[in-house]
């Protein structure tokens, strides 16, 4: 094992500060790109509901198709990365995302909803490959104790993209959406109605073809960049050499924690528009609600960067964030209208530092199992598929505010447990404990 590999495998620095900084900037660009793609799901829910004339439950198939790809493809992504290395694997992920974008644009223009969902699934598949490679990559670009800060920098890139994505999508696709329902209902014939729906659905074609081209171009740039071409075994974090990945209880608990966290994050970001619609708020307002949640997350990342680990540990901040999540969810339940929506958007602040804390805590000490542990955590992103869909189903039977409360509060309480105690669970081998 050469010197570079030794430094990487012990969770230390890359060859030089300059090389590490180059890696951070490059990965930051990637996080911006898949943040932009990911947080389009919020306005896309509104879009497909109009374009395909769907109810809320079927509209929530958008995040389900997107996030379920993580569950099915994270472990295959880990196997792919063992063959390609992380850099080429990230480039491949971008190419797959480009294919998914083409499919989405084409099938949506044809108003073939199964094809639209397939395009989202393929896009998510590319992102699962990117995420499986990039998250542990960020963790090993410096000391473990400051991993949450580095992931927070990535989160700022990710969430900044999420703030602007709904505005760009609204400007390109959702113009005149306020009167669209009325225009469709007032159409004189079935053919006129279908023509309006076809024209509305076709608005995504040009933007998604352009996005596919940019993703493919970025893939070429990554493949030819000077980014260190680390292989998964070189990225092993810690010294644990347990015979099985399931011998690490802090990882098992962390997978559940990440599943619940992504679920509440997506509910606060993607479902907030339909949550606001429950109060009868107009589409002209609800289409931008995702941006408000993401703005709150940006503020949370800035605060996290300032205080972690200088004033508070990442695990303590995680526990406090979860407690704040409980308080804000209860506040949303006890209010109505824009005030309740403001509480939901404020959950972005509480959610901001959860991923940056959970991920490094869960993969610490996995040693040669690091890439598999990372893949299991990426699979947990499927919480973003199931919990919003569960919200859509549950609110068909109970008040939508109560439905949100019943899903979010238990999730935040579990995250609180993990930040307070779960992360330090002993492994099967005496003496290995997260510290």
List C-alpha distances in Å: 394 to 39, 269, 412: 23, 18, 18
Nearest to 372 by CA among 82, 142, 92: 82
Domains of the chain: 3-231+242-424 (1.20.1250.20)
Kindly report, residue by residue over 60-119, the tens digit of the pLDDT: 899 899 989 988 888 888 788 878 887 888 899 999 999 999 999 999 999 999 999 999
- Angle subtended at Cα 142 by Cα 5 and Cα 20, rounded to the nearest 5 degrees: 75
DSSP output for 391-429: HHHHTTTS-HHHHHHHHHHHHHHHHHHHHHTGGG---SS
pTM listed for this prediction:
0.76
Q: Residue 156 region, left (φ>0) first, then alpha (ψ -120 to 50), else beta? A: alpha
In the predicted structure, residue 3 carries a pLDDT above the cut 50: no
Output the average pLDDT for the chain.
82
In percent, the amount of the chain with pLDDT more than 90 equals: 35
In the predicted structure, residue 429 carries a pLDDT above the cut 80: no
Joined together, the tokens standing for residue 211 give 């996005």
Kindly report, residue by residue over 364-413, the tens digit of the pLDDT: 877 777 777 878 888 898 899 899 899 989 998 999 999 999 999 999 99
Q: What is the pLDDT of residue 16?
A: 47
Joined together, the tokens standing for residue 140 give 């090993």
Mean pLDDT of the region 320-330: 96
Q: What is the pLDDT of residue 142?
A: 61
| Cα–Cα dist 20/140, whole Å | 10
In the predicted structure, residue 303 carries a pLDDT above the cut 80: yes
Q: What is the pLDDT of residue 318?
A: 92
Q: What is the pLDDT of residue 41?
A: 85
DSSP output for 5-41: HHHHHTT---S-HHHHHHHHHHHHHHHHHHHHHHTTH
The band of 147, judged by pLDDT with boundaries at 50, 70 and 90, is: low
Mean pLDDT of the region 18-46: 78
Q: Does residue 351 contact residue 299 with C-beta atoms inside 8 Å?
A: no
Nearest to 43 by CA among 380, 221, 291, 329: 291
In the predicted structure, residue 237 carries a pLDDT above the cut 70: no
| Cα–Cα dist 63/51, whole Å | 16
In the predicted structure, residue 34 carries a pLDDT above the cut 90: no
Which three-class secondary structure state does DSSP give residue 199? helix
């Amino acid at each position: 094992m050469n010197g570079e590999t030794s430094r990487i495998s012990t969770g230390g620095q890359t060859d030089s500060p300059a090389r590490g900084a180059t890696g951070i900037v490059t990965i930051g660009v990637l996080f911006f790109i898949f943040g932009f793609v990911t947080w389009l799901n919020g306005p896309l829910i509104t879009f497909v509901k109009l374009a395909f004339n769907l109810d809320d439950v079927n509209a929530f198939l958008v995040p389900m198709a997107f996030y379920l790809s993580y569950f099915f493809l994270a472990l295959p992504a880990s196997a792919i990365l063992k063959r390609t290395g992380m850099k080429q694997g990230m480039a491949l992920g971008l190419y797959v995302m480009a294919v998914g974008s083409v499919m989405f644009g084409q099938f949506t223009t044809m108003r073939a909803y199964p094809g639209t969902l397939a395009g989202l699934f393929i896009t998510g598949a590319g992102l699962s490959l990117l995420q499986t490679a990039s998250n542990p990559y960020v963790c090993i670009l410096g000391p473990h104790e400051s991993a949450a800060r580095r992931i927070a920098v990535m989160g700022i890139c990710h969430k900044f993209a999420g703030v602007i994505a709904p505005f760009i999508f609204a400007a390109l696709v959702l113009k005149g959406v306020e009167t669209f329902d009325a225009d469709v209902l007032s159409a004189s014939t079935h053919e006129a109605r279908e023509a309006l729906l076809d024209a509305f659905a076709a608005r995504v074609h040009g933007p998604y073809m352009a996005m596919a081209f940019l993703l493919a171009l970025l893939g070429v740039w990554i493949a030819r960049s000077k980014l260190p071409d680390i292989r998964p075994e070189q990225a092993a974090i810690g010294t644990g050499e347990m015979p099985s990945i399931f011998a690490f209880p802090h990882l098992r608990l962390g997978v559940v924690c990440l599943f619940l966290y992504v679920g509440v994050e997506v509910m606060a970001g993607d479902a907030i528009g339909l949550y606001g619609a429950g109060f009868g708020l107009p589409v002209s307002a609800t289409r931008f609600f995702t941006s408000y949640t993401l703005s709150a997350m940006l503020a949370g990342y800035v605060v996290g960067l300032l205080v972690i680990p200088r004033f508070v540990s990442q695990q303590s901040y995680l526990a406090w964030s979860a407690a704040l999540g409980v308080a804000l969810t209860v506040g949303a339940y006890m209010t109505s209208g824009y005030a309740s929506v403001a509480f939901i958007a404020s959950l972005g602040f509480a959610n901001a530092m959860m991923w940056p804390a959970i991920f490094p805590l869960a993969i610490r000490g996995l040693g040669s199992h690091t890439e598999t542990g990372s893949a299991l955590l990426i699979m947990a992103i499927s919480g973003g598929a199931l919990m919003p869909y569960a919200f859509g189903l549950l609110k068909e039977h109970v008040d939508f505010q109560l439905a949100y409360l019943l899903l979010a509060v238990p999730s935040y309480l579990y995250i609180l447990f993990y930040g307070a105690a779960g992360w330090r669970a002993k492994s099967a081998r005496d003496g290995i404990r997260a510290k």
